[in-house]
Every structure is written in structure tokens, then in C-alpha cells.
Amino acid sequence: MRTAVLVEPTEFQLQDRERPEPGPDDVLVAIRDVGICGSDIHYYEHGRIGDYVVDEPLVLGHESAGEVVETGENVTGITPGNRVTLEPGVPCRRCPHCKRGDYHLCEDVVFMATPPHDGSFVEYVTWPADFAYELPETVSSIEGALCEPLSVGIHACRRGDVGAGDTVLVTGGGPIGLMIVEAARAAGATNVIVTDVVPGKLGFARERGVDLAVNVTETDLEAAINEYTDGLGADVVIEASGAPPSIRSTLDVVRRGGTVVLVGLASEATVPIDVLELIDNEIDVHGSFRYKNTYDVAIDLLTDGAVDVEGIVDFQLPLDAIDDAFQRAIDPDVVKGMITIGK
């Protein structure tokens, strides 16, 4: 089967690998669509993300959907021919985190495209059947693949307890920021504001109907939010850029008693914050890591037409053109590239 392998930073090799056999609890999936995530681009360009180092050839890709072609003997409920989306992180199911329901915090998780585990830029993947979710006819394979970043958005909104009537500020208008916007609206937020530093990203966020888009290189964010909220501040601020100045600014723009959710992975390990400001204003600060129990919700939201994920896709290219696809995806104006396999 054709497999795109990152053999060195910025170098993919298309290899022919043996098709895997599903285990008794697995499904064998013919992969159709895979999104290119920011983490894939980071591994492609730099060969590492923090402590995760690509020191062996690695298959990237973890936002994937496809069609079941075979099932293991214990699998019920999914049959060949079903279209599915794959939740890319499979936990150990036995550790204290898994047992208390926080399976996304499992330290032994097998997460696609995170060294040393291969991902889904490949024709076939075997995956535990309970981490494969059937897609209804009305949900496309691309939408299925994008259940992954949408899940990041849903989880972040849950962490921020986003609810009806909230004013939500999302800092960073990349794919994750835009998925947070979708999830926040679906949760009932009535005012959604996005910041960025790239004019094209802000223009795109405006086209997608955000209530306010702020270029923080030109506009004082605190003043803009004060004006927009009559001096109150945003109910929930969800940081999705990872830029230290943006992380620092969250406490200046959240209302007293509000919530800050940190999603963006800071490019610096230490970002100073004013602890007294945090205490005096009784601000809740939450980290948000990946997601748990979001795939069914993501599919329901897509089925109901409550979110738009396909609209963030800039281009689709076949697996053979993966080099071109990554070169295009690096452009800061590009939001989401997709690889199409097996069509």
C-alpha cells in the first residue's frame, strides 16, 4: 500500500508497505481524506515539537476519515462499507486517568503521527473499532476528517463552560481558532471575536461571520474589547495562537469572574502572568488538551448543520502530491490543506 513517510525534515518518500491486518477488536479502514494539521507542518519543517522528536521515519496525518473494508472477529456495530472518522488517540484504558474518565490525559496514549506512532497519510489503517465513528450519509468524508480539529474546539469550549449569550474572544484565527469559533457558536455564544496578526486570516474570519476581527498589530486589543463590551471584558477568552504576547493579553481582556482557556501551545515554556490580577479579578484559567468524548458530538453538530468545517479547506491534493501539499500549507494565508487518498 502507498505510504507517505517523512524520512528527514522537509523530505517525504512514497513507500510501498504491507497492508496491515485488523486485530480482533479492530477495523481496517481504507483512508479517503486526511487534513494537514499545524503539528504535521511543524514535524515536516523542524523534525520535532518540543520533546517529541522524529528520529525514525514517521507517517504524518491524524485528521482522517475513510471506509471500513474489514472488521476483526469481535467487532459489532460497524461493517465493511461503513464510512468512519478515526479518533487518533487511543489510550491504555487501565491507568488512573483512563479509569477516572480522562482518557485524553493517558500518558500511554497511542496518538497518530506523534513519534513513535505512525499516522494516516497511507492507504489503509487498522484502528480499534471503538475509536472509529460511523458517518451518516449527509456528513462528507472531509467533514469526518475535520471532526478532529472540531473536537479540539468543542473540548476548549467545554473547558471554558461557554454558554448561551456569552461573548467569546478567540485569539488566533488559524484552523483551531476557527473550529473554536464554530463550537462556541454551537454552544450558544452570541458574540464571537477573533484576533490575528495576518490580514488574510482576519478577512477570512470576517467572511465566516465573526462579530469582530481584530488585527493586534494595528489595534490595541484591550481598548477594542472594552469598547465592544462596554468596559466589561469578554466572558470567555480562548487562546489559540500559542504566541506569548497573546497569552499574556488574555488577562487584560477577560471580564472579572470570567474564564481563560489556553489551547495554543506556547512557543516559550514560560510566559509571565500577573497572579494578583488573576486573584483580584477571580479569573479561572484552564488548560485544554486535545479532547475526550467529542466525536459523537462533532458528528451530531455536522449532521444538524450547526457548524461549518468544510469551508476552511483551501485545497485538496492526492497522496502523490504530498510534497506540493506541504509546501502550499506552509503559506500563512492558507488555513487547511487536505490529502485525498484512494479516490
Ligand X SMILES: NC(=O)C1=CN([C@@H]2O[C@H](COP(=O)(O)OP(=O)(O)OC[C@H]3O[C@@H](n4cnc5c(N)ncnc54)[C@H](O)[C@@H]3O)[C@@H](O)[C@H]2O)C=CC1
Ligand Y SMILES: CC(=O)[C@H](N)C(=O)O
- Contact residues for ligand X, defined by CB under 6 A: 38, 152, 171-177, 195-198, 201, 216, 240-243, 245-246, 263-265, 288-290
* Chosen from ligand X, ligand Y, none, partner binding at 195 (C-beta under 5 to 8 Å by type): ligand X
Q: Which of 71, 82, 114, 288 binds ligand Y (CB under 6 A)?
A: 114
Spatial distance between the Cα atoms of 274 and 227, rounded to a whole number of angstroms = 23
Asked whether position 290 contacts ligand Y by CB under 6 A, the answer is yes
Contacts for 272-279: CB closer than 8 Å, 24+ residues apart: 272/248, 273/247, 273/248, 277/251, 278/251
* Chosen from ligand X, ligand Y, none, partner binding at 294 (C-beta under 5 to 8 Å by type): none
Q: Which of 1, 19, 39, 69 binds ligand Y (CB under 6 A)?
A: 39
Q: How far is the CB of 290 from ligand Y (least distance, A)?
A: 5
Q: How far is the CB of 289 from ligand Y (least distance, A)?
A: 8
* Chosen from ligand X, ligand Y, none, partner binding at 114 (C-beta under 5 to 8 Å by type): ligand Y
Q: How far is the CB of 13 from ligand Y (least distance, A)?
A: 23
Q: How far is the CB of 170 from ligand Y (least distance, A)?
A: 16
Asked whether position 208 contacts ligand Y by CB under 6 A, the answer is no
Nearer to ligand X, 66 or 177 (CB): 177
Nearer to ligand X, 83 or 290 (CB): 290
Report helix, strand or coil for 101: coil
Q: Tell me the one-letter amino acid at 200.
A: G
Spatial distance between the Cα atoms of 158 and 292, rounded to a whole number of angstroms = 10
User: Contact, 150 vs 65, CB < 8 A?
Assistant: no
Spatial distance between the Cα atoms of 94 and 251, rounded to a whole number of angstroms = 38
Asked whether position 37 contacts ligand Y by CB under 6 A, the answer is yes
Q: How far is the CB of 33 from ligand X (least distance, A)?
A: 17
Residue nearest to ligand Y (CB): 39
Q: Cα-flanking dihedrals φ and ψ of residue 73, to 5°?
A: -65, -25
User: Contact, 148 vs 131, CB < 8 A?
Assistant: no
User: Contact, 221 vs 202, CB < 8 A?
Assistant: no
Q: How far is the CB of 38 from ligand Y (least distance, A)?
A: 5
* Chosen from ligand X, ligand Y, none, partner binding at 28 (C-beta under 5 to 8 Å by type): none
Spatial distance between the Cα atoms of 77 and 95, rounded to a whole number of angstroms = 27
Spatial distance between the Cα atoms of 149 and 331, rounded to a whole number of angstroms = 19
In which residue are the cell numbers 470570567 written?
258
- Binding residues (CB under 6 A) for ligand Y: these are 37-39, 114, 265, 290
